[in-house]
């Protein structure tokens, strides 16, 4: 954890994404460009966004944040799940998941997500 960094735990689903910042503030946005823009308004140069790889749903937000110049980590869902299990959390909601992802971000060594270049995506 870097002291001056403000972490944002993000739980992404099909229609919305839930966000909890390291101050404990909770937000929910539509999983669309409109929602992405609203999130970016909350972020500062010291922000680091952390989300799970959700198969498909996280990609648009991840690329939007990356192209906007923010620090981003996309974590293995199993690592986050094990962390949540260690916390003995019995509550399983998108809101609680975003809070726990934020806690996870504060306690582990994160790797910045690089994604694929647009050229690599075109080849897929």
Give me the residue spans of the domains in the chain: 6-112
Query: Residue 83: helix, strand or coil by DSSP?
Result: helix
Residue at token pair 């870097």? 2
Distances (CA, A) of 50 to 5, 104, 120, 123: 12, 9, 23, 27
Report pLDDT for 4: 83
Task: Determine the CATH number of domain 6-112.
Answer: 3.30.420.40
The per-residue pLDDT for range 36-49, each reduced to its tens digit, is 999 999 999 999 99
- The per-residue pLDDT for range 63-121, each reduced to its tens digit, is 999 999 999 999 999 999 888 788 776 677 888 899 999 999 999 999 999 887 554 44
Give CA–CA dist 66/51, Å, rounded: 13
Global pTM reads 0.87
């Amino acid at each position: 954890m870097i002291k001056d960094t403000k972490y944002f735990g993000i739980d992404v689903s099909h229609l919305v994404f839930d966000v909890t910042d390291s101050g404990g503030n909770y937000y929910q946005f539509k999983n669309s460009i409109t929602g992405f823009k609203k999130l970016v308004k909350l972020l500062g140069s010291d922000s680091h966004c952390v989300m799970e790889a959700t198969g498909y749903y996280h990609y648009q937000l991840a690329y939007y944040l990356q192209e906007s110049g923010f620090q981003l980590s996309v974590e293995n869902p199993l690592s986050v799940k094990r962390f949540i299990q260690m916390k003995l959390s019995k509550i399983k909601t998108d809101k609680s998941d975003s809070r726990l992802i934020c806690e996870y971000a504060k306690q582990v060594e994160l790797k910045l997500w690089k994604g694929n270049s647009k050229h690599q995506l075109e080849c897929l």
